[in-house]
Amino acid sequence: MKDCRAGIDNCVNLHKCVWTRDGSVNMMILDSLLNLRELEVNAGHVAHYDAECLAKFRALQNVTLIMPNQTVIKVIPAWMSATGATLLSLSLTSGLITDDLLESIGPNLKALRHLNVLGCPRVTYRGIWGIISGNTDGIMSLGLQNLSSAFNMAEFSRLCIGSTALRRLRKITLTIDALHSNNIPEWLGQVKNLLLSAPLEIFQIYSTFAHFDAASMGAMSNFCSTLVGAHGHRLTRFSIHRMHISTESIVEICKKCPSLEELFVVAHPRELSMLTAGFACALKLRTLHINYPFEEDPNDYTDYKPPVLSIDEAQRIVRQCGSALVEFGCNTRVWKINRVVSRRDTGELVVAAELSTYENPNIPEQFLVVQT
């Protein structure tokens, strides 16, 4: 740790620190980082540092707190008061975060642009509204993932529609959990109203459970169609995880979103031939990932093995897609796409897409654990 401290002391212009190993952050490190602009820390263990020292960080632009314990929770209001004027992005993950806490720090976060609250089962619409309602510039990205079962989307939508809180919203990430399973069509209608007037560019949604009835699948397909109708000219990313929508909806996304660069969808293997024609319409598409749906019988997990897309099958799909595509994946496999130039017997130069091993050090999104 002393060597680490010595190294940090030499980094006189260090502006970002990501320290996510539980229980390893300490005062020696934190005292060396007071000029930070971005801090991501696992704050669940305070045996080696005084939580009060967090309030010394007064010029942060980005804060990510992972699993803070009660001692750290108590410091958050004073900390946000100290750094709130400069804070642009806040991400919180903890079962201890409450509406009361968020409402208490909201008045100090008027410049906030990005808010991500995930795995906070005690947070309802009231806490989120407490932060975004007083925002002066307007939130640009909002993540509401695995929050309280009492989160009232209808009321949240009503409040936002009656204000300018989401007038700059470019990105939203949502989850559907099992508690929504009985009223998914109604919930999707509320989300549609929430987003109707936002200048949306990135839409991400995933389910924490795997199986939907026909009515819910139909409602999701209709929702996607409505979303594309309202925002398709701006959308650059459309991501749907663990939720099967109709082939027609996926094709519509590809055809009516001319700026689409990233697409994550669930589709059955038998739908791929029809979908490929749709993928070819998305001329700016750079990243495409397909997940197969779970088995038909939710009670039968015995010896279930998802189908595997062969590299030859993947190659056939990729070669029909636009030339902008650089990454393609199916289930747990991801390939990088290279462009290979060859010369025909006639002398004509031909460019063909070839798949190769994914070498990017960044973990593909589809391999990341769904945030809960």
| Confidence (pTM) | 0.90
Could you list the beta-strand ranges (E) of 136-201. Answer: 141-147, 171-176
What's the CA angle centered on 177, arms 299 and 267, to 5 degrees?
65
pLDDT at 313: 93
Between the two ends of the chain, the Cα-to-Cα distance in Å is 31
Residue 2: its pLDDT value, please? Answer: 64
| pLDDT at site 290 | 95
Surface-to-core class of residue 334, CB atoms within 10 Å of its CB (0-12 exposed, 13-18 middle, 19+ buried): buried
pLDDT of residue 363: 62
Q: Are 204 and 237 in contact (CB under 8 A)?
A: yes
pLDDT at 286 (0 to 100): 97
DSSP strand pairing (349-357 vs 333-343): antiparallel
CA–CA distances in Å: residue 79 to residues 21, 87, 112, 149: 22, 11, 15, 29
Count the neighbouring beta carbons within 10 Å of the beta carbon of residue 332: 11
Q: What is the DSSP letter of 362?
A: S
In order along its 372 residues, the chain shows pLDDT tens digits of: 666 667 777 776 788 988 877 666 666 667 777 788 999 988 776 666 788 888 888 999 999 999 999 999 999 999 999 999 999 999 999 999 999 999 999 999 999 999 999 999 999 999 999 999 999 889 999 999 999 999 999 999 999 999 999 999 999 999 998 666 678 999 999 999 999 999 999 999 998 876 677 888 889 999 999 999 999 999 999 999 988 899 999 999 999 999 999 999 999 999 999 999 999 999 999 999 999 987 554 455 455 566 789 999 999 999 999 999 999 999 989 999 998 888 888 888 888 889 998 877 666 665 554 443
Compute φ and ψ for 62, nearest 5 degrees.
-140, 125
The predicted pLDDT at position 372 comes to 36
Residue 371: the pLDDT is 46
Question: How far is it, in rounded angstroms, from Cα 233 to Cα 256?
Answer: 7
Burial code of 269-288, b = ≥16 C-beta within 10 A, e = fewer? eebbeebbebbbbbeebbbb
Please report the domains of the chain, with CATH numbers, ordered by start residue. 43-333 (3.80.10.10)
